[in-house]
Amino acid sequence: MIAVPRRLRLGKKDRSSLLVALPFVGPWVIGFLAFTAYPIYYSFTISFTRYSGFGEATPIGLTNYQHMYADPLFWKSMYNTLYYVALAVPVGLVIAIALGLAMNQRVREVAIYRAAIYAPSILPVYALTFIFIVLLNPRFGFLNYVIVTLGGPSINWLGDPGWTKISVVILAQLGAGGPALIFLAAIRGIPSELYESAALDGAGALRRFVYITLPLLTPVILYDLILGLILGLQIFTPAYVLTQGGAGAGAGQYVAGPDNSLMFYVLYLYKTAFQFTDMGYASALATVLFLVSVVLALAIMRTSKSWVHYEVT
């Protein structure tokens, strides 16, 4: 018989507490097991099969994973996604902090500014993307009008593979109001005595930001980085709308933007599953995405020990 470690033994009072707690956490646990844990397990198992989603799955071992290595669209979609994440996450972080600082200004009409900054975040990405298509028109769009008026070049935002992903990065910034609110809350949580002391010592606004605000925001920055990373790796809706479902239809006869430059990983996974009815390969793609997400998130967590400050020291 295996001895149960002492610390895991539950006393009468613990068992009683557990019985009270279980009905409260039970629904979540059941939901998690049924709708998250089991699908992940199921997806992992069918990644070793050839399966359309109907009928019997045919076991094929590691073939789907081997095929991935030779599949140019796998690499293309992975590159597009990592490119997007590498650009969108830091840019989004800087903009969210800037907006958080702007929302913290002591002016009478700050409530109006906060609402205006936050408002785009509550619009569906689907609707924003449609608006963006008009704003990004190379001949008649507002963005090019401003750039050309200022003496810059006319950019073919959605027709030049060098600019398509940057267009999506810009689009993503319309949702910066959400994280900005979290940064605002964090900024307001910083004790004012710290700023007063620093001001007495002669620190200017920039020094106060760099040596007080920024270090004390690092826990929220860590949260925003990991969340941005996970959401960035799953970027889908803008590409889906811009490419009309990646269905090969559209003006320039692209599949997913010129040179497949908007073929993001999840769009490719979606097409593989539902347009090419290859659930086995799509599941293998999902497994790899899961692993990439975990590895990148852990890497950020690992480095966080050296730059995240949870308290004033």
Does residue 142 touch other proteins according to CB under 8 A?
no
Question: Does residue 140 bind other proteins (CB under 8 A)?
Answer: yes
Residue selected from 248, 294, 301, 312 as contacting other proteins according to rule CB under 8 A: 248
Q: Considering the complex, state which of residue 156 and residue 218 has its C-beta at the smaller distance from other proteins.
A: 156
Size of the site for other proteins (CB under 8 A): 43
Site membership for other proteins, residue 245 (CB under 8 A): yes
| CA dist 309 → 109, 222, 225, 304 (Å) | 33, 10, 15, 9
Is residue 249 part of the contact set for other proteins (CB under 8 A)?
yes
236 binds other proteins (CB under 8 A): no
Q: What is the CA radius of gyration of the chain?
A: 24
Q: Which is nearer to other proteins, 158 or 296 (CB)?
A: 158
The neighbour count for residue 257, using CB atoms within 10 Å, is 26
Rounded to whole angstroms, how far apart are CA atoms 302 and 306?
8
Candidates 235, 242, 282, 289; binder of other proteins (CB under 8 A) is 242
Q: Which residues pair with 49 in a beta bridge?
A: 59
Secondary element (H or E) of residue 170: helix 161-172
DSSP string across 92-155: HHHHHHHHHHHHT---TTHHHHHHHHHGGGGS-HHHHHHHHHHHT-TTT-HHHHHHHHTT----
156 binds other proteins (CB under 8 A): yes
Instruction: Determine which residue in the list 176, 255, 266, 285 makes contact with other proteins, applying CB under 8 A.
Output: 255
Instruction: Supply the minimum distance, in Å, between the C-beta of residue 153 and other proteins.
Output: 10
Instruction: Report residue 306 as tokens.
Output: 């050296």
Query: Does position 252 bind other proteins by CB under 8 A?
Result: yes
Q: Which CB, 100 or 246, lies closer to other proteins? A: 246
Tokens of 58: 């045919």
Per-residue binding string, other proteins, 23-62, x by CB under 8 A, is ---------------------------x-xxxx-------
Binding of other proteins by 259 (CB under 8 A): yes
- The count of C-alpha atoms lying within 13 angstroms of the C-alpha of 269, restricted to the half-sphere facing its C-beta, is 20
The stretch among 105-113, 126-134, 200-208, 298-306 that binds other proteins (CB under 8 A) is 126-134
Question: Residue 167: which of 260, 271, 269, 262 has the closest Cα?
Answer: 262
Q: Can you tell me which residue has the tokens 């605000």?
A: 213
Interface residue with other proteins, options 95, 101, 138, 218 (CB under 8 A) = 138
Least CB distance to other proteins at residue 213 (A): 41
Q: Are 262 and 159 in contact (CB under 8 A)?
A: no
Binding status of residue 105 toward other proteins by CB under 8 A:
no
What token pair was written down for 213?
């605000």
Q: Does 254 bind other proteins (CB under 8 A)?
A: yes
Please state, as a whole number, how many other Cβ atoms lie within 10 Å of the Cβ of residue 140: 10
Stretch that binds other proteins, among 13-21, 117-125, 153-161, 184-192 (CB under 8 A): 153-161
**Position 264 contacts other proteins (CB under 8 A):** no
Q: Which of 117, 241, 286, 288 binds other proteins (CB under 8 A)?
A: 241
Q: Which residues contact 134 (CB under 8 A, 6 or more apart)?
A: 141
Interacting residue ranges for other proteins, rule: CB under 8 A: 50, 52-55, 72, 130, 133-134, 137-140, 154, 156-161, 241-245, 247-255, 258-260, 270-271, 274-277
